[in-house]
Amino acid sequence: MKFFRRLFRGDPEKDRVDLEFKARQREFEEYKVLRQGLMDIFEGWFLKTQSFRDSPIGTPSIHQQCLPCALDRTYRSFTIANLDHIAEVLARQKVTPETLLDIGQNHGIMQTRLEKLSHTYRYKEKEGEPSDVNRLEPLQLLRCHLLLEGLQDPRFVAEVGAIIEKNPKDGKTELGGLIRYDPMGRLSLFEVAPQRGAEAQSFVLSVRDQVRIPHIAFFHLHALEEDCTRFAGPSSNVYDKELGKTRSYREVMRKSDMGEAEEEAERVGESHNVVFTKLAGRRFNADYYAAQMGMFYPHHVVVDLGNYDY
């Protein structure tokens, strides 16, 4: 009798499980649609920056004819993997394509957020000059947004502080690696040994190591001393302090953080990086610097993301 009563009345537990399954299935379908919508925008932004490389009739672009460092075709797949890594997290956070477009195109919002933070500059002469924010491409602006969001998380700030304290204060060892999302969708650091060995005055990651794991940007530290304020931001030959002017492109290409970013951009199209500089006490400064290949030469940008206590 109990069987027949259950048959006609239904099983409440089974009904509950069925409803939960259908809700999760519907949520997953919405997630897939949202993720694909974000990826469509990402790919559009990426292809726009690379459009000069491919002629519509399939002939080599001007860049490919004039420079020996034509775009590595495998780079496209690596870039898409990195963007998919970002899209997966944003879709889980229910970021809509409309919101993404606003993030990637509204330089004013980023400028306003940065103006509320304290900053540290390597060259005092550069203080007060127009920010590179307005020169950011959409994918660069997006990364600045994601990094700023991460730097509002005390857990991530503490993680940066921990690796800064771990960095030997020997004047010759720079630690670094990748900034990526963890399985919980939180920004985290993935440390990688320096390519130049245990003792390296400049952190260099091979292209193979850079692209093997999906990530947002590469990072390294300026934490060789207890107070590295005078080394804040990426090392660069862009600005000649003595002459008070910007150097030529070829002068910039001499070894430095910016020079290596531009060399990478020449090889693979773009470069996204962050340098964390130890300040006096338990504080650090964060700078995003990037390079993107233009028609003939890469153009670079540097954005100070602010000072933080850990």
Residues 6+ apart with CB under 8 A from 281: none
What global pTM score does this model have? 0.80
Length of the chain, please?
310
Q: Domain count of the chain?
A: 1
Does the structure show a pLDDT above 60 at 296? yes
Q: Has residue 141 been placed in a domain?
A: yes
Note whether residue 133 is domain-resident: yes
Confidence band for 193, pLDDT divided at 50, 70 and 90: confident
pLDDT higher than 70, residue 224: yes
| Assigned domain for 235 exists | yes
What's the pLDDT tens digit per position in 265-291?
777 778 899 999 999 999 999 999 998
State the pLDDT confidence band at 297, using cuts at 50, 70 and 90: confident
Query: Does 233 map to a domain?
Result: yes
> Is position 50 within any domain?
no
Within 8 A by CB and 6+ apart from 145, the residues are 103, 110
Task: Please report which helix (H) or strand (E) contains residue 233, including its range.
Answer: none
Q: To which H or E segment does residue 212 belong?
A: helix 207-212
pLDDT score for 174: 83
N-to-C CA span, the chain: 67
Instruction: Assess if residue 79 is contained within a domain.
Output: no
Per-residue pLDDT at 159? 98
Residue 278 lies in a domain: yes
Higher pLDDT, 61 or 8: 8
Domain that holds residue 164: 95-309
Give 28's pLDDT tier (boundaries 50, 70, 90). Answer: confident
Q: Is 86 within the bounds of a domain? A: no
